[in-house]
Chains A and B, each alone.
Chain A
Amino acid sequence: MPDDSSQPILRFDDVTLSFGGPPVLNHISFSVLPGETRIIFGAAGSGKTILLKTALGLLRPDTGRVYVFGHDITRMPERDLFDIRSRIGMLFQEGALFDSLTIEENVCYPLLNQKSIRSTPEQARARAEEVLRFVELEHTMDKRPSELSGGMRRRVGIARAVATRPPLVLYDSPTAGLDPITANTIIAVIVKQRDVSNVTTLMVTHRYQDGNLMANYRWDAATGGLRPATNGERARLRTTFMVLREGRLVFEGTQQELEASEDPYVSRFVVRST
Chain B
Amino acid sequence: MLAVQEFYLLAGAALKNIFRRPFYSDDLFLQMDIIGVGSLPIVIMTGFFSGAVMALQMSRALAQYGQVGRTGMVVSITLVRELGPVLTALLVAGRNSSGMASELGSMVVTEQIDAMRALGTDPIQKLVTPRVVATGVVLPLLTIIADFVGIFGGFIISYFLLNLTPTQYWSSAWRALEWNDVVQGLLKPFVFAFAVSLVGCFYGLKTTGGTQGVGRATTQAVVVASVMIFFLTFFLTKIFVSQAGS
Q: In whole angstroms, what is the CA distance A225 to B121 when docked?
A: 35
Q: Which 3 A-B pairs have the closest CB atoms?
A: A114-B120, A96-B115, A96-B111
A78 within 8 A of B: yes
B120 interface neighbour in A53, A93, A99, A113, Cβ under 8 Å: A113
Give 23 A-B contacts (CB < 8 Å), ordered by A residue: A58-B114, A78-B122, A79-B122, A82-B120, A85-B117, A85-B120, A86-B120, A90-B118, A92-B111, A92-B114, A92-B118, A93-B111, A96-B111, A96-B112, A96-B114, A97-B115, A99-B110, A110-B119, A110-B120, A113-B120, A113-B121, A117-B120, A160-B119
Q: How many residue-residue contacts, CB under 8 A, span A and B?
A: 47
Binding site for B on A (CB under 8 A): 53, 56, 58, 78-79, 82, 85-86, 88, 90, 92-94, 96-99, 109-110, 113-115, 117, 160
B residues in contact with A113, CB < 8 Å: 119-121
Select which of A53, A114, A115, A160 is within 8 A of B114 by beta carbon. A53
Query: Given that A78-B122, A79-B122 are known contacts, is A96 also in contact with B117, CB under 8 Å in the complex?
Result: no
Question: Of all chain B residues, which has the CB nearest A56?
Answer: B118
Chain B residue nearest in CB terms to A160 = B119
Contact with A along B160-194 (1 / 0, CB 8 A): 00000000000000000000000000000000000
Q: Which residue of B lies closest to A114 (CB)?
A: B120
Interface of A is mostly: loop
**B120 — nearest CB in chain A belongs to which residue?**
A114
Q: Are A58 and B118 within 8 A (Cβ)?
A: yes
User: What is the bound-complex CA distance between A115 and B120, given in angstroms?
Assistant: 7
| B124 CB, min distance to chain A CBs, angstroms | 9
Decide yes or no: A85 and B118 within 8 Å by CB, A96-B112, A98-B112 being known contacts: yes
> What is the bound-complex CA distance between A149 and B154, given in angstroms?
56
Contact of B114 with A109 in the complex, beta carbons under 8 Å: no
Q: Which residues of chain B have C-beta atoms less than 8 A from A85's C-beta?
A: 117-120
Rounded to whole Å, the gap between the CB of B19 and the closest CB of chain A is 15
Whether A98 pairs with B120 at a CB distance below 8 angstroms is no
Q: How far is the CA of A114 from the CA of B121 in the complex (A)?
A: 7
Taking CB atoms, residues of chain B closer than 8 Å to A90 are 115, 118
Please give, as numbers and ranges, the residues of chain B lying within 8 Å of A98 by CB-CB distance: 112, 115-116
User: B40-75: contact bitstring with A at CB < 8 Å (1 yes, 0 no)?
Assistant: 000000000000000000000000000000000000
B120, A94: Cβ atoms under 8 Å? no
Query: Residues of A contacting B110 with CB < 8 Å?
Result: 94, 96, 99
Which of A82, A99, A110, A114 interacts with B112 by CB under 8 Å?
Answer: A99
- Given pairs A94-B111, A97-B112, A115-B120, 12 additional interface contacts (CB within 8 A): A78-B122, A79-B122, A88-B118, A90-B115, A92-B114, A96-B111, A97-B115, A98-B116, A99-B112, A113-B120, A113-B121, A160-B119
A138 to chain B minimum Cβ distance, whole angstroms, is: 21
- Min CB distance A105 to B, Å, is 12
A58 to B111, CA, bound (A): 11
Separation of A90 and B116 alpha carbons in the complex (Å): 11
